Copies of this chain bind each other. A is one copy, B any other.
């Protein structure tokens, strides 16, 4: 049924799934759908991956909750059919958005909460509190950048990516032409870039 290439790809994604905190079956089903031109119904997935019907049902639910798999229907057939989006950039955007939502956003909330809590206490802030603040700032910078990029059309995004660090050379030139609103101030300890020696244990 599946070519050896397909098999190989599907197994690889299963393995990789684990490293990503996604379970093997979910990874395999995703990979199968990704490679499949036609939409597949649950029974077809059961056959091709030799897993139980209930496992397929639950794994598809999981993939749908990630918005990585779409459900569709066919005239004269009341089974559900599943696909992944054709456009890879749609997939990348979904993946990044979902991971951000599940992993970054809660962490950012937590850091803000902790900092408020800690700031109410003794001044000056202790080391741990300062560290939490640094981390929060870093994440805010990165997510702000992400929001910016996410707003771009794919066409533009690809252009920027392909340019890569060539852009860096433009900054100087551009700065003199266009007044940038946001200042490019490092939010971390990069203003003390010297390598510190081993910290003293108590």
A199 touches B (CB below 8 Å): yes
Chain B residues within 8 Å of A142, by CB: 161
Q: How far is the CB of A99 from chain B (nearest CB, A)?
A: 9
B198 & A88 in contact (Cβ 8 Å cutoff): no
A114 touches B (CB below 8 Å): yes
A: contact size bracket: 35 or more
A193 touches B (CB below 8 Å): yes
Chain B residues within 8 Å of A129, by CB: 5
A99 nearest CB neighbor, chain B only = B19
A162 & B189 in contact (Cβ 8 Å cutoff): no
Q: How far is the CB of A16 from chain B (nearest CB, A)?
A: 6
A51 touches B (CB below 8 Å): no
A78 touches B (CB below 8 Å): no
Bound CA span A189–B111, Å: 39
Chain B residues within 8 Å of A35, by CB: 127-128, 131-132
A167 & B160 in contact (Cβ 8 Å cutoff): yes
B152 & A168 in contact (Cβ 8 Å cutoff): yes
Give 1 or 0 for each of A24-55: 1 = CB within 8 Å of chain B CB. 00000000001111111100000000000000
24 contacting pairs across A/B (C-beta < 8 A)? A3-B126, A5-B129, A9-B128, A35-B131, A37-B199, A38-B199, A40-B201, A73-B198, A74-B201, A83-B198, A83-B199, A87-B189, A88-B134, A141-B158, A144-B161, A145-B161, A151-B165, A154-B193, A159-B184, A161-B184, A163-B180, A166-B181, A170-B170, A170-B174
